[in-house]
Amino acid sequence: MADLDPRLTPARPDLAARALEGRVTADRFVDGEAARVIDGLASLRRAPRADAPLDTEALVGERLTVYDEDDEGWAWVQLARDGYVGYMPVHAYLKGEGAASTHKVVALRTFLYPGPSIKQPPLGWASLGARVAVVRETEANGRRFAVTADGRAIVANHLVPVDALETDPVAVAERFLGTPYLWGGRSSLGLDCSGLVQTAYEACGVALPRDADMQEMAAGEPVDLDPRAWKRGDLLFWSGHVALVRDAATFLHANAWMMAVGIEGITEGLARIEGSGTPLRSVKRVRNFSS
């Protein structure tokens, strides 16, 4: 199992995914059960405890495989979106395939209402990129609503079809300016550096891995470390950190220095980060993408 990344490998000494039989050692192997996230935001933790480190988050509508559930309300799962493995609260998902997603949230954040009225108390919320299954549209008080398969209503202009793509990942990332930094976060309530990059590129139809080291390995073609060679959307990598080139003078990133998504000057930012002991390590241009 030494060659398998534990973040992406559903294997424990007592239990593993059946697809790994013959590759890992475990007491038993299971197929797992399909499920989908029903909470606006579901945490994925390193251990089945509310105080365990937050590794990532799943948005409402995301698909997952459930391998195990304990008596304390935690499940051991793997996300379909990027393969991440961890522990999720049982209340955050519903088993079964459910209706296929038809639309995704394009607003930074939107509310899920019990019916087509913005005056009703919301049942929850959804962040940019969340997917929903719309079964019909309706109008109330001059406003269009999309009604989902589970009966929740969303302001229709906060949604676009799932196959609608953005053309500029940096412009998507800029919508999150000022959003608080959150280790493991990937929503409009809080996100980390790689969560921002993953979300921005996903909106443009490019699937990137979850963590910065994975993104550095998979993102694309190497670019010279000289800033004069950089283009908008290129990814800058330091040890444990990633940022997006915004223009010839600035880059954008979710960072713990500002504790927010912010913009820094390239010259000043590179000097600051190198001064902290982590010089720029590589620059990558995302494969199969041209803004």
Length of the chain (residues): 291
Nearest to 183 by CA among 81, 235, 256: 256
Q: What is the pLDDT of residue 287?
A: 79
Nearest to 55 by CA among 210, 249, 245, 262: 210
Owner of token pair 């309530």: 189
Eight-class DSSP state of 152:
-
pLDDT means over runs of 10, the chain (291 residues): 86 98 97 97 98 98 97 98 98 95 97 96 97 96 95 97 97 98 98 98 97 94 96 97 98 97 97 94 84 51
Helix (H, G, I), strand (E, B) or coil at 230: coil
Quick one: which H or E segment has residue 17? strand 16-17
- Identify whether the C-beta of residue 48 lies closer than 8 Å to the C-beta of residue 71: no
Angle, CA of 256, 257 and 260, to the nearest 5°: 60
Q: What is the pLDDT of residue 67?
A: 98
How many C-beta atoms lie closer than 10 Å to residue 51's C-beta?
Answer: 7
- Identify whether the C-beta of residue 176 lies closer than 8 Å to the C-beta of residue 254: yes
pTM of the full structure: 0.95
